[in-house]
Amino acid sequence: MQEKDCLFCRIINGDIPSSKVYEDEFVYAFLDIAPGFPGHTLIVPKKHYKNILDMDAKETSHIFAAVQKIAPAMMKVTGAEGFHVLQNNNEAAGQTVFHTHFHVIPRKADDGMTLWTPTSYENKEKMLEMAQKIRNEIQ
């Protein structure tokens, strides 16, 4: 299940070159061409899925098995003290390549990267109400 016009399918197939970090039966991992920091790796399922909601739990488990292999190696090589596993779904969330991918980004305590600006709920009731609404929608 690959798509001929998909950038990441073409990278997996070898039609487009990549800096491969890891590969197994289910996943392919390569360096992001525009890294947050050097070593920033993308892990993608070999099958084409548009976003994480198209994948089943088994498929996502292969990705996280790869994270647990790749991240320690990446940290060792880059001297990172931590890392993110970050995944954008849909354009509104910054997804630009519509083949599911997980960013593994090395971090150091003083590297200056900010992911979001914290906000707050109007009050505790609003927060409880939000949790209740989400619980009600979960299937």
Question: Which contacts (CB < 8 Å, 24+ apart) does range 49-52 have?
Answer: 49/99, 49/100, 50/98, 50/99, 50/100, 51/89, 51/90, 51/95, 51/98, 51/100, 52/87, 52/89, 52/100
Q: From residue 76 to residue 115, what is the string marking binding to ligand AMP with x (rule CB under 6 A)?
A: ------------x-----xxxx------------------
Can you tell me which residue has the tokens 């998909």?
6
Query: Candidates 29-37, 57-65, 68-76, 121-129 — which segment interacts with ligand AMP by CB under 6 A?
Result: 29-37
Query: Candidates 60-68, 77-85, 94-102, 109-117 — which segment interacts with Zn ion by CB under 5 A?
Result: 94-102
6 belongs to the binding site for Zn ion (CB under 5 A): yes
Task: Give the angle subtended at the CA of 91 by the CAs of 69 and 93, to the nearest 5°.
Answer: 60
Q: How far apart are CA 14 and CA 28, in angstroms?
A: 11
Among ligand AMP, Zn ion, none, residue 97 binds (CB under 5-8 Å by kind): ligand AMP
Burial of 7 per CB tally in 10 Å (0-12, 13-18, 19+): middle
Query: How near is the Cβ of 51 to ligand AMP at its closest, in Å?
Result: 10
From 66, 71, 83, 99, residue interacting with Zn ion (rule: CB under 5 A): 99
Q: For residue 67, which amino acid is it?
A: V
Q: Is 101 a catalytic residue?
A: yes
The site for Zn ion (CB under 5 A) is made up of 3, 6, 8-9, 48, 99
Catalytically annotated residues: 101
Q: Where do contacts with ligand AMP occur on this chain (CB under 6 A)?
A: 7, 18, 32-34, 42, 88, 94-97
